[in-house]
Copies of this chain bind each other. A is one copy, B any other.
């Protein structure tokens, strides 16, 4: 519960931000800002939890840690997915101490209170007979599944999900992520504020030097200030080529220019985004050499589908190629620390060793991700200095960083 003083502190900080400039340093290190963010953003919006293919069968679950709260995301006997606080209703003991598994019932290890897969309290041997068990089921929260992505919201009244579902559903459907399987998961503990990670994600100004692999496959590191006729011609050719080819299968080019698609959209308070874009000629997958490395996913019948990008604030981006998808999930663990999980997905029927090699699927996004985490940690060290002053954003290249900052401040101001 924030005090009046804390609210004022955050309000003053919000007021101190100069338009077009990076955030004041306190936003990246102050416990009071972090607590406000937890209340106003992370416990109010929709959070990406994982993929439904991670828990295909009844009783399958995984846990995830949102700040102080461990959550259990579990499929019940009817196939519905629930999100429970990982806390016994008796004396509060953590119920599941494994990151994932499959269980018939949730049994508290302390006094064996036993819950069904839908969270209802089945037995609590040793308690008085007049206890109303119907009021002692696991505390659960909102879950939405769309195109294989599982979202949860810790809010009592979460924001509307329909429009996000419509967009992500439409663009995500051909990728078939709900019929995928996890090829690999890597967890990172990054010493940087979660906003530093987003600010890094929202521009490709840093790509030329930091991401030698990424820039070979993509066009979005070019902006109005540095694009030339040769590159523009390549983009135009790729768009024309893709539109012609894809029209047959219903795929559409939804980002056809240089630069990154605009997201988040603060004017429309829009926390989700999806688009499909051509890759550079010769690339049909975001892999080291651009070649396909696993069976086609979903409804695809041809490898030449460009790249599908889906993002939701505050914690997901997914980059999918014809043959694999990569989801990145952020979870904050204090003002100076972000836990990041990167998950590689392939078609559920693909067999490792026969149909794909993990070592071929991973490097492109593993390298690009780790390059980003390293520079994020270096940025974090700098903004903690009393010598740091907010600096100007590039209007050519950092419009999305500015957009992110404005979206963030808008959310934070909603006390």
Report which A residues bind B (CB closer than 8 A).
22, 25, 43, 67-71, 85-95, 97, 109-112, 125-128, 131, 136, 139, 154, 199, 205-206, 209-210, 223, 225-226, 375, 378-379, 381-397
Report the minimal beta-carbon distance from A118 to chain B, rounded to whole angstroms.
Answer: 17
Are A90 and B395 CB-contacts (below 8 A) given A109-B375, A206-B110, A384-B68? no
Q: List 8 A-B contacts (CB under 8 A).
A: A69-B386, A85-B388, A92-B383, A92-B389, A92-B390, A94-B382, A110-B206, A136-B391
Are A88 and B382 CB-contacts (below 8 A) given A111-B205, A375-B109, A391-B136? yes
The answer on a CB contact under 8 Å between B397 and A126 is yes
Complex contacts, A226 vs chain B, CB 8 Å = 125-126
Report the minimal beta-carbon distance from A335 to chain B, rounded to whole angstroms.
Answer: 13
The answer on a CB contact under 8 Å between B382 and A92 is yes
Report the minimal beta-carbon distance from A345 to chain B, rounded to whole angstroms.
Answer: 29
Report the minimal beta-carbon distance from A280 to chain B, rounded to whole angstroms.
Answer: 20
- In angstroms, Cα B391 to Cα A85, docked, is 14
Complex contacts, A127 vs chain B, CB 8 Å = 392, 394, 396
Q: Which among B86, B88, B382, B393 is the interface contact of A391 at CB below 8 angstroms? A: B88
In order of increasing CB-CB distance, the 4 nearest A-B pairs are A85-B387, A94-B382, A92-B383, A92-B388
Are A69 and B387 CB-contacts (below 8 A) given A93-B378, A126-B397, A396-B126? yes
Q: Which among B22, B210, B394 is the interface contact of A128 at CB below 8 angstroms? A: B394
Are A385 and B91 CB-contacts (below 8 A) given A127-B394, A205-B126, A394-B128? no
Q: A85-B386, A86-B382, A109-B210 are in contact. List 8 more A-B contacts (CB 8 A).
A: A69-B386, A88-B382, A88-B391, A89-B389, A91-B383, A109-B209, A109-B375, A128-B394
Complex contacts, A397 vs chain B, CB 8 Å = 126
The answer on a CB contact under 8 Å between A90 and B206 is no
- In angstroms, Cα B396 to Cα A70, docked, is 30
- In angstroms, Cα B111 to Cα A389, docked, is 17
Are A385 and B205 CB-contacts (below 8 A) given A109-B375, A126-B397? no
Q: Which among B94, B139, B375, B385 is the interface contact of A69 at CB below 8 angstroms? A: B385
Q: Which among B22, B88, B225, B381 is the interface contact of A94 at CB below 8 angstroms? A: B381
Report the minimal beta-carbon distance from A356 to chain B, rounded to whole angstroms.
Answer: 34
The answer on a CB contact under 8 Å between B378 and A87 is no
Q: Which among B87, B136, B381, B384 is the interface contact of A382 at CB below 8 angstroms? A: B87
Complex contacts, A69 vs chain B, CB 8 Å = 385-387
- In angstroms, Cα B136 to Cα A389, docked, is 10
- In angstroms, Cα B70 to Cα A157, docked, is 44
Complex contacts, A389 vs chain B, CB 8 Å = 89, 92, 139
Q: Which among B89, B92, B128, B139 is the interface contact of A395 at CB below 8 angstroms? A: B128
- Which residue of B is nearest A1, CB measured? B26
Are A199 and B391 CB-contacts (below 8 A) given A126-B205, A386-B68? no
- In angstroms, Cα B86 to Cα A67, docked, is 31
- In angstroms, Cα B91 to Cα A90, docked, is 48
- In angstroms, Cα B112 to Cα A92, docked, is 51
- In angstroms, Cα B69 to Cα A379, docked, is 13
- In angstroms, Cα B89 to Cα A67, docked, is 32
The answer on a CB contact under 8 Å between A94 and B378 is yes
